[in-house]
Chain A
Amino acid sequence: MIPASLLIVLAPIAAAVPALLLRRWRLLETLAALIGCAVVIFLLVYSPDAPLRLGDVIIQSSAPLNILGRELTVRPYDRLPLLLIYIVAAIVFALGARIAQGWTFIPLGLGILAALSVALMIRPFVFAGLALEAAAAMSAIMIQAERNGKGSATGALRYLIIFTLALPAFLGAGYAADRASGVADLALQAEAYAPAAILLCIALGLVFGAFPAFTWTHPVAKDAPPLATAFLASVGVAAAGFLFLGFAQDFAWFRDQPFVGDFMNLLGLLTLVLGATLGWAQRSLGRVLAAGISVEVGCMFLLLSHTAPLTVEALAFGTVARAVSLGVFALGIAMIRERAGSDEFINIAGQGRLQPWAALAIGIGGMSLAGLPGTVGFVSRWTTARVIGVHDLEALVLILVAGASVGVGMVRGLSALYATVPATSLDTEVTPISAARPNMRGRAALVTLAIALIIALGIAPGITESIIQPISSNYTFYK
């Protein structure tokens, strides 16, 4: 009998090898990644309770895998979040099928997926911190990709530093929880567990990129290939969110601490203020993307500060919405960067006419990030508003303002794309920097499909109901 957890970790690693070997053929590389994700999705769909028989091989979902005395298990409430994370990863990988994001994007993206899966499945939870650190080491290389030069590693280093700072908080939380478990007096237990809960909150706050003073979102969005940023902001942040829900499900001492909700609420408000303040004033598309990530992370924090079934539904749907919105916006930025060599507003004048598909991706992706009706982003904001608006109208207004701020940033970006080209740069502007001729039909088809997905999920969000609702009902801590 093979534990499903072993295959969930091994399948992406196994897919990373052909992806690395086939990196010159982008479509085949993407196909390898999609097959790797599909294998895990198949396993998670078809082995919920009963063993899955494939010939002589029996795969058991609930069977534990022991590594060095630590247990990796697909718990019932972890199965669908893992499924969602792999679906989201597959969407972002597919968006990169027609545009170069560096050799690191897919092979290391698959490695990161394996490490994040370990983080979600492993117990005791302190080892999740080690798995996240391994994912961060791979992410740093993915962020850097093939860029060279002094100061080019700022984003990658910031990401690595922040995850390393989170490591002692995870380890300390494990130790503090272990010590507190020895306290028999019920009256003293909450106090004994408080340090563990505080340390876990700090660790997760760092991993999410929540601390406005020292966050990874802006340096990473500025430096990394755009789709790599979208991958980390959708897959990485989703894994951290479900890790939080897993802690709330497993540990009463964590979910019952009153300050956990307050702390998440504070982080959410601060991160939203950061996004709202910076979004409209940015002068590059990459930084508008970063502001969009801040707004998304802020919304996620506000949701995590509440405990209700609708909260989990909003979180799960937000994961899909974030991946699609950020992915399409990032795809547009990648196309602009490829041709203009930059995404600064001052350098992209006239690119909208030269690359209408890129402009369309930025426009629709940005509208979805801003939460405009008819897009998947709107549905995500609406569900968030239904949770937040009941208790906290000010936070709801802040969410709307922050979304509008990102929308203004996107409109300014579009204006820059369609700005009149200065006469002095007419000769150089039409010469693409890329020596390779891009496959415009393939890109047009990709952008069309992605936009169709944004609109389809915006008009009929019920398509995802078969995954979103069971995710919510599998968590029982709020019942």
Chain B
Amino acid sequence: MSELVSLLDRLSQLAATPLLVSLAISIVFILLFRNWRLALPALIVQYVIVGIMLARVIEPGVALIKPLAGALVCMALSIAAQRADDVRARRGESVAVERIRHVAWRSVPAQVLLRAIAATLVLTAAFGATGRFPLPGGARELGLGAYMLLASGLLLIAITPEALNIGVGLLMFISGVELGYTPLEPSISVSVLLGFMTLAVGIAISYLTLADGGALVEPSRHKHPPSDTALTAPTQES
């Protein structure tokens, strides 16, 4: 653990620009590619970058909480997404790995282009906001990172229908809040509580990802319909 802390400490002394560029790349990657097999590794990388940026204003040992919590959340999300994919595969629907192996090249340019334009607009707006409405705390590079994460998190929440991607947007939004707030109150308790918050939201999103993929209760295991039919959502729109 001490090696990790000292590594984070050394990385935090890097110039701000490479960190911000890496953060922007991870954000664009997540916004462009909704496939969880691509988005979740990018999210882990993003958590590491956020951890390094936090280590510039708080103790590296405390900043380490963020990447650790993020890695745990990504692990839980990937397990949930894999299970949902297993159920989808049994139903004969397309799953993440299939979409990577057999890319539908005809539809890709239109989708990616639209998202790329939205991502560019959002990142430009974040850059403009950093200059015009600088966040308090004096750490300008953290302010830019916070704006980028907040704006792109909101964009992802607004434009995706899947529970997993909305969840990734929420987690990016929380990372943005953390980058913006930590310089204002650089205490252990805030970092611990925000790390706990990331874990709690991550667990909730994992559960919702399972539900969205139809993997909470597998129908084949039930000979009879479940008795909790009071839970059934109204299925027919009048």
Q: A: which residues have CB within 8 A of B?
A: 67-70, 99-102, 127, 130, 133-134, 137-138, 140-141, 144-153, 156-157, 160-161, 164-165, 167-168, 171-172, 175, 179, 222-223, 225-226, 283-284, 286, 334-335, 337-339, 341-347, 433-436
Contacts and interface: CB of A to CB of B under 8 A. Distances in A.
Contacts of A167: 174, 177, 197
A177 B228 CA distance: 48
B131 interface: no
A102 B214 CA distance: 16
B98 interface: no
B230 A436 contact: no
Contacts of A144: 207-208, 211
Given A144-B207, A157-B167, 9 more contacts: A67-B189, A69-B187, A69-B189, A146-B226, A146-B231, A150-B214, A152-B211, A343-B234, A346-B236
A153 B227 contact: no
A130 B208 contact: no
Given A69-B187, A144-B211, A435-B225, A341 B235 contact: yes
B232 A160 contact: no
Contact of A153 (B187, B200, B212): B212
Contacts of B207: 140-141, 144
Given A148-B215, A149-B214, A171-B181, A344 B197 contact: no
- Contact-residue size bin, chain B (C-beta under 8 Å from the other chain): 35 or more
A342 B236 contact: yes
A130 B194 contact: yes
B233 A223 contact: yes
A100 B232 CA distance: 11
A101 B231 contact: yes
What is the predominant secondary structure among interface residues of chain B facing chain A?
Answer: helix
Given A144-B208, A153-B163, A435 B177 contact: no
Given A100-B230, A160-B201, A344-B236, A146 B174 contact: no
11 contacts: A70-B189, A102-B228, A134-B196, A137-B200, A146-B231, A148-B214, A164-B201, A222-B233, A337-B230, A341-B229, A347-B238
Contact of B177 (A140, A152, A168, A225): A168
B67 interface: no
A57 B150 CA distance: 48
Contacts of A133: 197, 200-201
A116 B85 CA distance: 35
B121 interface: no
Given A70-B189, A164-B170, A175-B181, A100 B236 contact: no
Given A69-B189, A133-B201, A160-B170, A151 B228 contact: no
Interface in B143-177: 150, 157, 161, 163, 166-167, 170, 173-174, 177
Contact of A335 (B166, B230, B233, B234): B230
B163 A157 contact: yes
B216 interface: yes
B194 A153 contact: no
Nearest to B171: A164
B234 A286 contact: yes
B95 interface: no
Given A150-B212, A160-B170, A175-B184, A68 B228 contact: no
A154 to B, nearest CB: 9
A343 B235 CA distance: 9
Given A284-B238, A341-B229, A435 B204 contact: no
Given A134-B197, A164-B201, A151 B161 contact: yes
B224 interface: yes
B116 interface: no
A341 B166 CA distance: 28
Contacts of A68: 188-189, 192-193
Nearest 10 pairs of A and B residues by beta carbon: A68-B189, A436-B227, A338-B230, A137-B200, A100-B228, A137-B204, A153-B208, A346-B238, A435-B224, A140-B204
A138 B199 CA distance: 12
Contact of B231 (A141, A153, A225, A286): A225
A171 B187 CA distance: 14
Contacts of B170: 160-161, 164
A433 B226 CA distance: 9
Contacts of A225: 230-231
Contacts of A145: 228, 231
Contacts of B166: 157, 161
B168 to A, nearest CB: 12
B29 to A, nearest CB: 22
B134 interface: no
Nearest to B87: A148
Given A144-B208, A157-B208, A164 B173 contact: yes
A451 B224 CA distance: 34
Nearest to A284: B234
B110 to A, nearest CB: 22
Contacts of A148: 211, 214-217
Residue of B170, B230, B231, B232 with most partner-chain A CB within 10 A:
B230
B217 A433 contact: no
Contacts of B233: 147, 152, 222-223
B150 to A, nearest CB: 8
Given A147-B231, A222-B233, A164 B174 contact: yes
B51 interface: no
